[in-house]
Structure 1
């Protein structure tokens, strides 16, 4: 990361307030106008209003929208399966998040667990509108919500999206005895290896 990009990333993404339990709770603040969470958060109207949420992106098939009048709803009907075409929604969801922010609102992007589908959409948004690489976007979101783990099919689509946006790839897929995984998962595993019993 260049020093210029480093400064831009932190200036653009640093939240106005810190959610101390964002790693373990159902909701994490990705930027001051973007939240990532699990499905149960979408049922907590008091919390959403307190956070200033005005738009809810529901990236599931299995969870219905509550359709409360205080919120705009966007349905992204996807299963958390590697073959699900999440890339079809990268641009439209990113554009919606950006549009809501320009109107001084905030968006919650959720799926069932807040781990794969919603995380992938937030990563795509950061790449498109904050001009950061896939690796930088993933690391930023993981810092805010460490439980994220997009499935391998979503990684393939994010890698292609990065190539489309920037003409390069900062994450690679690696073959392993258990199948293909992104190199970021391999690095995380090596980092944790001393604590694992293999």
Structure 2
């Protein structure tokens, strides 16, 4: 799953950097790419616009400062009839957060809904706790309330959504 491209909706795709290949980009009709890495160069494909969001996958990284910019870009590409691919190194933390932010801002999904929408299309997603905090703040700014909260555990705070998933998957915790 990590190396596959996941289709989020008719104009939005999510994947790891390893899946970003010129022939696949062309076959999907991708017109824009958002590269959410510091470590990987943009793919050079004629007539495909690439934007790099230089953020590391660490809990202290400030990905949230790009949520509006990326969501606006995804919406602009959608409205112009294009298709956009968002990737990070593994397609697990940074790029799913950007897609979640888009769904919240433009599809008016709550954070929990947006997370499950992406998770149903790309099972491997697992944003780091710092990015969860930023998504929670983004949801509060957009909707004035939160559907996900951070809860304490023996190893530090986690989003309650992870605890719910563990209960569902394993019947424990």
Smaller-chain TM-score range?
Answer: over 0.9
Query: Does residue 172 of the first structure (1) align with residue 144 of the second (2)?
Result: no
Equivalent in the alignment of 2:34: 57
When normalised by structure 2's length, the TM-score is 0.96
Q: How many residues align?
A: 173
Equivalent in the alignment of 1:140: 117
1:155 paired residue among 111, 118, 132: 132
Query: Does residue 193 of the first structure (1) align with residue 139 of the second (2)?
Result: no
1:82 paired residue among 59, 62, 67: 59
Consecutive unaligned residues in structure 1, runs of 5 or more: 1-22
Residues 24, 41 of structure 1: alpha-carbon distance in 2 compared, 3 angstrom cutoff? closer
Residues 122, 97 of structure 1: alpha-carbon distance in 2 compared, 3 angstrom cutoff? same
- After superposition, give the CA deviation of every residue in 1:43-91 in whole Å (9 maximum; x if it has no partner): x111111111000000000111122222101100000000100011000
| 8 Å Cα contact 2:2/2:90 also seen in 1 | no
Q: Is the radius of gyration larger for structure 1 or structure 2?
A: 1
Query: Does residue 35 of the first structure (1) align with residue 28 of the second (2)?
Result: no
Residue 25 of structure 1 and its aligned partner are, at CA, apart by 4.5
Does 1 or 2 have the higher relative contact order (CA < 8 Å, sep 6+)?
Answer: 2
| 8 Å Cα contact 2:136/2:148 also seen in 1 | yes
Equivalent in the alignment of 2:105: 128
**Which stretches of structure 1, 4 residues or longer, exceed 6 Å deviation after superposition?**
none
| 8 Å Cα contact 1:53/1:105 also seen in 2 | yes
Consecutive unaligned residues in structure 2, runs of 5 or more: none
Distance 1:83 1:174 in 2: 18
Distance 1:164 1:35 in 2: 25
